[in-house]
Structure 1
């Protein structure tokens, strides 16, 4: 009896060992398996770096391989204008620092891309203009430096609409040509932060930086399935960024999730003594990602801006489905309408402000660059009209060139009664109008389709499947631009053409946390984002 019992115990022990060995082996293999960065979040990449599943050097090599495979060959997305030749050395140094001192932040050793109107030392700042191809800044822009200080790595600079204005050629520049949408190569990636958006969507980096004057972060994010944030005007610095119109310009993140965008926003925002608009920024910056609330929509009251429907059936249907989803989660939804002036602000406000401000602000920026380079708008126009540029493969968009000439002519309007009236009366009155609408209806946010039509045709290739009845598909973006209010766009669905459609949450100044909570709540409940078909994982 005792012998049988002993044998039984031995048998059980053997069975236990046989059972545990494969489990331990599987876990050991999982721990030592190569880390695949494809579609991974900032937190996932940071954990892989902390656990030594990967290194920053390996990450940089991975993204450079993807850029090599997909940017200028294969689908030829054409999002990248320049590779940071120091990225690998920086990654190695940050790996060594992680080992000796630990990570600086969750962004330590994580690669990102930068729109080519941000200054990055060692790389030219062209803003898409071939006239600026040899302009090398002396220091990093404030926001880029904030991210570098947090340990992030600039891996590349990205294409953009020339000098941040598209004039019918979205995502096209004389410096970089045309950026394509990685979801549909017959469609554009919007503008002007097209390159950063396409690069992040295509997994050329973990996140990207863009600038937004009248929709230049939100539009590209919308059509490439990303989360884009236009922060409150003055929350993020514009120092070391080629200006378009400082009354309207902001810098903001583009990322594949609300959480990632929230992490980047907190890292890049803050008071910059060289940008007076940011004097109160540090009082308002929060650790947005740590406080994200997936249940935010259950207790929210939102207004649906009905002014921006009716231009495309698919966009309307997807937006209405998104609103129905919110209601099913407990959100109280009411219809709201903007005033006649507020629902279209380009002609009465944004256009004239941009024309008046561009020349003086642009030339002030040029004065910060080393001696010997281009210093005036007239010089840029002259180079743009030169036979060398006009006869190149990527001449300046003729309409953009006309726009530069208009800005040259209207620079004197900076002191005009019209300009002063817009800045001192039209803009403040618009801001008060939107604040009153929200207060009267007790709203947490105003919701609308980010763009009223899907990603549009490339300027150089007709796509008969594109339908848009809009006078201006970007009109909804102008409200946040004119008021200086924050807006977050988040993926909501896919059009039949295979391009993403997004919805926006907009609110009063410095309500980023609330808007991000609502966007996060929607994102987690729907999870509609898909991977671009033309830049799949090749690992």
Structure 2
């Protein structure tokens, strides 16, 4: 079979693996096509590093395998991108910040290694919001720059995993890895018409689904996790199965599913976001889904008592531990912070260094977080819910702020709202309570921008949540590709 460039670019991860395993598509040809695509779309700033020689050499090794060996690799020849705060042996891991520019870790993060062992090929490192402390991916570091939304390059793609999302949406790669502390896989997925997954974390210890410990430039060990990103939920399930193991997705019928609609997360939406989301609900209800309104009147208060103190307090010790464990070029948080390029991130690190929320941390971690977790678990149990569903973000992508990187936004002409708070509101509860969250495309707004829907599930129900997402995307369909 002769593959046109357009046919290769259109492949989802699962489709690409099928073609690569069977030998119908050569890994070298596919990788070369995507590398050329990356070069042609460099103005989007999706990548900080492109590994031309390494990716082509890895593709040659895949093509040289006997057919039986290639067929046994779950990801044989699949090109991926990896967020620039996730350790990669042989490739820089800078977290988008000047003090770490050019730093190359000794080993891959475990999640990366599992994908590579399964046959995946790392094309390069994906750009991001500096040090992952933001949701716009407007990066002021000279080696990074602002990531641009492929549906409109004057707009943000969301963050902090904006580069991974843009590479996937722009057909530079079919899949990749991001990280998520408060919404960093799900927000950019929603704003770029892609899918992003935050796996279960629980209390941040042994019960977490992915185990990357000191292999990611951190914010918070309690809240951080690596997460797969792709153009379909089926692709997320493929990557998740390789990283965490487990059985195939359970068989699932839409008829009889009980999905909760949490009132606080449907309030105060941009009109065009609500319009798309309501149409999606109608399609899913017609397919057999039962929607259950849930008040969740304490959600905003409980979540507000948890998130900030944990992230701001844990960042100082956790970043220091990563710097020391990885023998980074700077060995103190102060030295790292002194060279931060993005104004919004510099302001956050002033708070980190001063430990401004340190006195609130013990109560947030040991009292308010368990209370939030019990509240979330009771919501699922009391209403017999399979998942919660709501718009991933309150609004569509907004213009890039070239001066500050993060400022305020207005929803339908209303009063100004802090940009980070506006975009984090709906994604943050899953993060602070440690449960799995999934964003999938809901449709396109009246202004031609992607809108995402988020599904949250009980802790540990990751594979079932992904199965629900696969069933939902079969009803909702995929958004159109950006015109580039």
By the TM > 0.5 criterion, same fold? yes
2:204 maps to none
- d(CA) in 2 for partners of 1:507, 1:46: 28
1:398 lines up with 2:320 in the alignment? no
For 1:69-148, list aligned pairs within 5 A: 69-71=40-42, 76-84=43-51, 85-99=53-67, 101-148=69-116
Q: Relative to structure 1, is the Cα distance of residues 263 and 362 closer, same or farther in structure 2, using a 3 angstrom cutoff?
A: same
- d(CA) in 1 for partners of 2:365, 2:75: 38
SS at the partner of 2:234?
helix
- d(CA) in 2 for partners of 1:187, 1:34: 30
Residue 500 of structure 1, CA deviation: 0.5
1:41 lines up with 2:8 in the alignment? no
1:63 lines up with 2:31 in the alignment? no
1:276 maps to none
Task: Judge conservation of contact 1:193–1:217 (CA < 8 Å) in 2.
Answer: yes
1:255 maps to 230
Q: Relative to structure 1, is the Cα distance of residues 164 and 134 closer, same or farther in structure 2, using a 3 angstrom cutoff?
A: same
For 1:5-24, list aligned pairs within 5 A: none
SS at the partner of 2:154?
strand
CA deviations on 1:193-240 (whole Å, 9 max, x unpaired) are: 000000001111120100000000000001111111111011012231
CA deviations on 1:103-145 (whole Å, 9 max, x unpaired) are: 3423111100000001111111100101101321111111000
SS at the partner of 1:351?
helix
Residue 99 of structure 1, CA deviation: 4.4
Task: Judge conservation of contact 2:270–2:412 (CA < 8 Å) in 1.
Answer: yes
1:286 maps to 247
Q: Relative to structure 1, is the Cα distance of residues 468 and 181 closer, same or farther in structure 2, using a 3 angstrom cutoff?
A: farther
Q: Relative to structure 1, is the Cα distance of residues 155 and 475 closer, same or farther in structure 2, using a 3 angstrom cutoff?
A: same
Which of 259, 268, 278 is equivalent to 2:243?
268
1:419 lines up with 2:341 in the alignment? no
Residue 50 of structure 1, CA deviation: 3.5
Residue 41 of structure 1, CA deviation: 2.0
1:387 maps to none
SS at the partner of 1:354?
helix
Q: Relative to structure 1, is the Cα distance of residues 466 and 96 closer, same or farther in structure 2, using a 3 angstrom cutoff?
A: farther
Task: Judge conservation of contact 1:108–1:150 (CA < 8 Å) in 2.
Answer: yes
Which of 410, 429, 434 is equivalent to 2:355?
410
1:500 maps to 450
Q: Relative to structure 1, is the Cα distance of residues 49 and 134 closer, same or farther in structure 2, using a 3 angstrom cutoff?
A: closer
CA deviations on 1:2-45 (whole Å, 9 max, x unpaired) are: xxxxxxxxxxxxxxxxxxxxxxxxxxxxx345573112122322
Task: Judge conservation of contact 1:184–1:497 (CA < 8 Å) in 2.
Answer: no
Which of 192, 213, 219 is equivalent to 2:187?
219
Q: Relative to structure 1, is the Cα distance of residues 425 and 98 closer, same or farther in structure 2, using a 3 angstrom cutoff?
A: farther
Which of 254, 261, 264 is equivalent to 1:307?
264
2:139 maps to 172
Q: What runs of 5+ residues in structure 1 fail to find an aligned partner?
A: 1-30, 271-284, 385-395, 535-539
2:314 maps to 357
Q: Relative to structure 1, is the Cα distance of residues 150 and 33 closer, same or farther in structure 2, using a 3 angstrom cutoff?
A: closer
Q: Relative to structure 1, is the Cα distance of residues 100 and 310 closer, same or farther in structure 2, using a 3 angstrom cutoff?
A: closer
- d(CA) in 2 for partners of 1:246, 1:195: 23
Residue 347 of structure 1, CA deviation: 4.2
1:454 maps to 396
Q: What runs of 5+ residues in structure 2 fail to find an aligned partner?
A: 202-207
Name the TM-score, length of structure 1 as normaliser: 0.82
- d(CA) in 2 for partners of 1:406, 1:246: 18
- d(CA) in 2 for partners of 1:514, 1:100: 31
1:480 lines up with 2:480 in the alignment? no
Tell me the matched-pair count.
465
Larger gyration radius, structure 1 or structure 2: 1
- d(CA) in 2 for partners of 1:216, 1:34: 34
Residue 481 of structure 1, CA deviation: 0.5
Residue 496 of structure 1, CA deviation: 2.4
Residue 411 of structure 1, CA deviation: 7.9
Task: Judge conservation of contact 1:136–1:369 (CA < 8 Å) in 2.
Answer: no
